Chains A and B, each alone.
Chain A
Amino acid sequence: QITLKESGPTLVKPTQTLTLTCTFSGFSLSTSGVGVGWIRQPPGKALEWLALIYWDDDKRYSPSLKSRLTITKDTSKNQVVLTMTNMDPVDTATYYCTIWTEIVGFDPWGQGTLVTVSS
């Protein structure tokens, strides 16, 4: 059974850097064709894809946020870390991590973690 869980701060101040960790089980990020992605959802709004890291360490970022995002993986710990710099109140959202495979896409997802940006 594949599970993912996000962890990190629930509150960050404007201009700070957010660091979120996705800890997963049931698969290996060293398996060809697998990736882990991050997607966020502001309260009451739609989903927004942020970043993806592939099994071979290739990375993809949302063009609109690329300058602020970094995604890394630690295969031995079954973790993927997303950092987002210069946080702003508009970045307040629930952040989800999810496994990606080429045929199926994004499934399953973690439960999500709500991050509030406020001074």
Chain B
Amino acid sequence: DIQLTQSPSFLSASVGDRVTITCRASQGISSYLAWYQQKPGKAPKLLIYAASTLQSGVPSRFSGSGSGTEFTLTISSLQPEDFATYYCQQLNSYPPWTFGQGTKVEIK
């Protein structure tokens, strides 16, 4: 199985901060990576697919980059509604389509 490791697992940030989350794959996955946002008690919401394509309706402050084994999710200016847990998922090699362990973004 392909393992995904997110870093950090937890981060504390302020409104307006630029935030970067990294996802590293145990082997190359080309650009087959998605990012999700999950708020407490809610289902995950797709933010980015194919490593860098913004899903329709997602604010442009979210961006994704990377290919191969290293990927990043960047929030250019953190907003109050962005405090949540973020997951990456690889869609290159299945089964299984593995997820990272999550990064919780909390208010400083």
Closest residue on chain A to residue B6 by CB atoms: A46
Restricting to A7-66, which residues have a CB under 8 Å from any CB of B? 37, 46-49, 52, 60-64
Chain B binding surface, main DSSP class: loop
Q: Which residues of A contact B87 (CB under 8 A)?
A: 46-47
Q: How far is the CA of A47 from the CA of B38 in the complex (A)?
A: 10
A residues neighboring B (CB under 8 Å):
37, 46-49, 52, 60-64, 96, 103-112
Interface size bracket, B side: 20 to 34
Q: Mark out the residues of chain B between 26 and 75 whose CB falls within 8 Å of any chain A CB in the assembled complex.
A: 34, 36, 42-46, 49-50, 55
Q: CB-CB < 8 A to A63: which residues of B? A: 1, 95-96
List B contacts of A62 (CB < 8 A): 95-96
Tell me whether chain A's interface is mostly helix, strand or loop, or mixed: strand
A112 to B44 CA separation, bound complex (whole angstroms) = 10
User: Which residues of chain B are near A96, meaning CB under 8 Å?
Assistant: 43-44
- B→A interface (CB under 8 Å): 1, 34, 36, 42-46, 49-50, 55, 87, 89, 91, 94-102
Please, which residues of chain B bring their CB within 8 A of the CB of A60? Answer: 94-95
Contact check: which of A61, A64, A107 meets B55 at CB < 8 Å? A107
B92 to chain A, nearest CB (A): 11
Most buried by A among B42, B45, B97, B98: B97
Our pick among B42, B46, B97, B101 for the contact of A46 (Cβ within 8 Å) is B101
Can you list 10 A-B pairs, Cβ within 8 angstroms, ordered by A? A46-B99, A47-B89, A49-B89, A49-B99, A62-B95, A96-B43, A96-B44, A109-B45, A111-B43, A112-B43
